[in-house]
Amino acid sequence: MRFQHREQTTASPEAIWNIWTDVENWPTWDTELSAATLKGRFALHAQGTLKPQNGSPSSFEITQLEWGKSYTFTTRLPLCRLHVYRFLEPASDGASFTHDVSFEGPLAFLFGRLLGARFQKVLPQVMGNLKTQAEG
């Protein structure tokens, strides 16, 4: 399962990037999280923990990083990996930013059904929250 959502904003790409890389503050715009932490600075292979509003904490790792443009963080699930890819594109009046979610592995279909449907439903609101924060 794979899905994505894109938003346009008048905020600068740097404003979006600063919010995206401030892991401890992810819950201020991602309503599905109650806490998020990162060990050390935001860098390739940095690891952290996500605590959803409902559910058990999970670990993640930054598995791809092109500073100022894009990154991927990956969460390992039983026989599955959840990849969240975020990327920015400058625009003449701000930026567009995209949040892409995919599940990979033997149980991707199961986790896609269990988690993906909820993520896909709330993603527009979460991205809208981020946009509002960046423009504020």
pLDDT of 4 reads 94
Residue numbers of the chain with a pLDDT score lower than 50: none
Any idea what the CATH number is for the domain that residue 30 is in?
3.30.530.20
Q: What percent of the chain has pLDDT over 70?
A: 100
pLDDT of 23 reads 98
pLDDT, tens digit, for every residue of 102-126? 999 999 999 988 888 888 999 999 9
pLDDT of 114 reads 85
Count up the domains in the chain and report the number: 1
pTM: 0.93
pLDDT of 127 reads 96
Task: Tell me the residue range of the domain where 7 lies.
Answer: 2-135
pLDDT of 102 reads 96
pLDDT, tens digit, for every residue of 38-52? 999 999 999 999 999
Convert the chain into a string of H (helix), E (strand) and C (coil). CEEEEEEEECCCHHHHHHHHCCHHHHHHCCCCEEEEEECCCCCCCCEEEEEECCCCCEEEEEEEEECCCEEEEEEEECCEEEEEEEEEEEECCEEEEEEEEEEECCCHHHHHHHHHHHHHHHHHHHHHHHHHHHHC
pLDDT of 115 reads 85
